[in-house]
Amino acid sequence: MELDPSTFLTLYVYLHEVTENDSPLHLMPGTHRFGATLFPHQLEHQEHDQWTYADDQGHWKVASSTATKRGSR
């Protein structure tokens, strides 16, 4: 059975207070343009605190940890 990522909803409920420094959810600016993707995502840590994200269609994006933690554009 093939899964359609557009039929999924991801919901996080934090039972304890979290800050931007310890949040388990980090957003990479611009990756929403790739559309919905299935978990697990292709996320790799690079040098100099950079992260590379790729989807199943070959799109990719590089962002710094500072940008992912703050959700900046």
Query: Mean pLDDT, to the nearest integer, of 37-58?
Result: 81
Query: Mean pLDDT, to the nearest integer, of 50-63?
Result: 84
pLDDT tens digits along 9-42: 778 788 888 887 776 667 778 888 887 777 667 8
Please tell me whether the overall predicted TM-score, pTM, comes out greater than 0.85 for this model: no
Task: Identify the domain containing residue 13 by its residue range.
Answer: 5-70
Average pLDDT, the chain: 76
Query: Mean pLDDT, to the nearest integer, of 56-64?
Result: 83
Query: Exposed (0-12), middle (13-18) or buried (19+): which is 46, by Cβ within 10 Å?
Result: exposed
How many domains is the chain built from?
1
